[in-house]
Amino acid sequence: MGKVLYVYECAECRKRGEQRLDGDSHDGEASTCASCGAPVTLEWDGGVVLETPQTIAADAIARARERK
């Protein structure tokens, strides 16, 4: 499982931050603003996956080829 990018916008200081967590199940989870420490809610950033394992990448390529 690769690292998934989550973003948040702090309601206190308006900072837009990001966190990388394992897996895509952290959407809506509470976290803490890196700037002011206020509570924030993580939002899944549209499926941006970092450090994608080779097997998943190969899988995606195979599926893309099947569509053509």
Tokens (6 digits) for 24: 């895509």
Q: Which range in 18-26, 27-35, 47-55, 57-65 contacts Zn ion by CB under 5 A?
A: 27-35
CA distances (Å), origin 26, targets 15, 20, 37, 68: 20, 10, 19, 34
- Binders of Zn ion among residues 39 to 58 (CB under 5 A) are none
Instruction: Based on the shown chain and the rule CB under 5 A, indicate whether residue 34 belongs to the binding site for Zn ion.
Output: no
* Residues facing 20 on adjacent strands: 5
Choose, by CB under 5 A, the member of 1, 36, 56, 58 that binds Zn ion: 36
Cα–Cα distance between 5 and 45 in angstroms, integer?
6
Q: Which of 1, 9, 12, 30 binds Zn ion (CB under 5 A)?
A: 12
Contact footprint for Zn ion (CB under 5 A): 10, 12-13, 15, 33, 35-36, 38
